[in-house]
Amino acid sequence: MRLLIIGALEGQLSQASKMAMDGGAKVSHAGSIDIALATLRAGKGADLLLVDVMIDIPALIAALEGERIHIPVVACGTETNAAAAVNAIRAGAKEYIPLPPDAELIAAVIAAVAKESSDFLFRDPAMARVVKLADQIAGSDASVLITGESGTGKEVMAKYLHARSKRANRPFISINCAAIPEHLLESELFGHEKGAFTGAVARRIGKFEEANGGTLLLDEISEMDFRLQAKLLRAIQERIIDRVGGTKPVPVNIRILATSNRDLAIEVRENRFREDLLFRLNVVNLKLPALRERPGDIIALAEHFVARYSAANGLTQRVLSQAARDELLRAPWQGNVRELENTLHRAVLLSSGDVIEPEAIRMPDGTGLSESIANHSLVSQAALAADAATRALVGRTVADVERELILDTLNHCLGNRTHAANILGISIRTLRNKLNQYADEGSSIPAPGEQRFSAA
């Protein structure tokens, strides 16, 4: 655990620093926001920022977002700083720790951040097989490609691998390739020198250097620009990078993990992803099953989220009724674990008592879970019907399909030519010409007022 304390390091804040170190944290200090940002830009990363509440925390969080630095912030201050504490939480701080510090509370916050980074909750055999493979290869330095639908927990799996690797005490650095504009991604990965481009007012250490000695996660790597993939391949192969605007290669010692919710083999065939890069990344593939394919995990995860959000919202511990459990097991969970988590968070807040009933489990638009399940069933049936209809047309000529459509429509209209022509959107003359043609070819044509069981 790397802890960066921001603020005047004296008195009670100094005591908090000592308690954190006693709890096993590696502690560094920055007296101001500017010094903290310079420290983070220089690659001296942190897993948690402990910030004096009298610091301008909204400005700090805005600066972190502007620099695309994603580190949780915990504010701390005396109990008389109630207004500042509220403002810090509103600005985005995860927690508020009152001073003078309590050793158990400091330890609990550090433990919670560390635990959140490496926990992987599962019960289903489908996920157990994936975790068993992860345990087998976690201690190696092999590159791992983690695939699966959005929301299945690919980043959680990456943290699980890092926590069980021989690099566990070194940095775990993640970069979302889909969230950073293409023209900035190279600088984010490899860093840049001062003056390398407009706005480069100081040297910035990239994610490769920040992760040196540890693990670098390339999240959603399929979104990376094809041109940049060539530079990434060189960096992975040679473990050497070039900062943007730099003249001296920089060696790095890292393990590479990557995630994708796309089939990269298809991306290679479509010339959107380099085949040699795929081979380099895909030493081991961990494919995470969708939540609907691991039903044994649904209730375990649901109970975990209910407990978490009951505590986070200062509520008495909520529990799921059996009816609610049954509804959760029937749901399709298209958004996987992420959707399940958000749904249970809402259920905790909407529940009128300590027992969560199905009525409290609602979708973002306010519809109930049971209604959502029914709608999904109808959509699935319609999709299957459309697919079946499409398959039924394969191998047939346009003329065959046209003849069947016209005769079926006429049969439906009890032989009424005018009505059938209106439905088909053609003139009565065109319809009559078609019917004469079909009669000459031997088809049975319904007479006016007549309906046949077979139109063909």
Look at residue 375 in the predicted model and tell me its pLDDT: 55
Look at residue 42 in the predicted model and tell me its pLDDT: 72
Residue 172, pLDDT above cutoff 60 = yes
Cα separation, 294 vs 97, whole angstroms: 38
Q: Helix or strand or coil: residue 252?
A: coil
Look at residue 91 in the predicted model and tell me its pLDDT: 79
Average pLDDT over residues 320-326: 93
Look at residue 240 in the predicted model and tell me its pLDDT: 92
Cα separation, 377 vs 218, whole angstroms: 36
Neighbours of 290 (CB within 10 A): 18
Dmax of the chain from CA atoms?
Answer: 102
Per-residue confidence band for 144, with pLDDT thresholds at 50, 70 and 90? very high
Q: Which residues on neighbouring strands pair with residue 67, listed in sequence order?
A: none
Query: By the 8 A CB rule, do 70 and 140 touch?
Result: no
Residue 24, pLDDT above cutoff 90 = no
Per-residue confidence band for 111, with pLDDT thresholds at 50, 70 and 90? low
Q: Residue 148: how many CA atoms within 13 Å on its side-chain side?
A: 26
Q: Which residues on neighbouring strands pair with residue 285, listed in sequence order?
A: 145
Per-residue confidence band for 456, with pLDDT thresholds at 50, 70 and 90? very low
Residue 101, pLDDT above cutoff 90 = no
Q: Which two three-digit tokens encode residue 26?
A: 């590696």
Instruction: Determine the residue type at 338.
Output: R
Average pLDDT over residues 296-309: 92
Q: Tens digit of pLDDT for each residue in 202-229?
A: 788 889 999 999 999 999 999 999 989 9
The fraction of the chain above a pLDDT of 70, given in percent, is 85
Average pLDDT over residues 61-65: 85
Core vs surface per residue 227-263: b (16+ CB within 10 A) or e: ebbebbbebbeeeebbbbeeeeebebebbbbbbbbee
Whole-model pTM: value is 0.65
Closest CA to 152 of 334, 340, 290: 290
Per-residue confidence band for 345, with pLDDT thresholds at 50, 70 and 90? very high
Long-range (24+ apart) CB contacts under 8 A made by 371-378 are 372/331, 373/327, 373/330, 373/331, 373/332, 376/331, 376/332, 376/334
Q: Tens digit of pLDDT for each residue in 359-397?
A: 999 887 777 776 666 555 444 444 444 555 556 666 678
Per-residue confidence band for 149, with pLDDT thresholds at 50, 70 and 90? very high
DSSP 388: H
Per-residue confidence band for 75, with pLDDT thresholds at 50, 70 and 90? confident
Cα separation, 61 vs 58, whole angstroms: 5
Residue 433, pLDDT above cutoff 80 = yes
Closest CA to 192 of 41, 305, 60: 41
Residue 128 burial (10 A CB sphere; 0-12, 13-18, 19+): middle
Q: What rounded mean pLDDT belongs to the chain? A: 84
Cα separation, 421 vs 427, whole angstroms: 6
Q: Which two three-digit tokens encode residue 341?
A: 């988590």
Length of the chain: 456
Long-range (24+ apart) CB contacts under 8 A made by 248-255 are 250/208, 250/209, 252/208, 252/209, 252/211, 252/212, 253/212, 253/213, 254/208, 254/211, 254/212, 254/213, 254/214, 254/215, 254/216, 255/141, 255/142, 255/143, 255/162, 255/165, 255/167, 255/214, 255/215, 255/216
Q: Which domains does the chain possess?
A: 2-116 (3.40.50.2300), 125-289 (3.40.50.300), 292-372 (1.10.8.60), 395-456 (1.10.10.60)
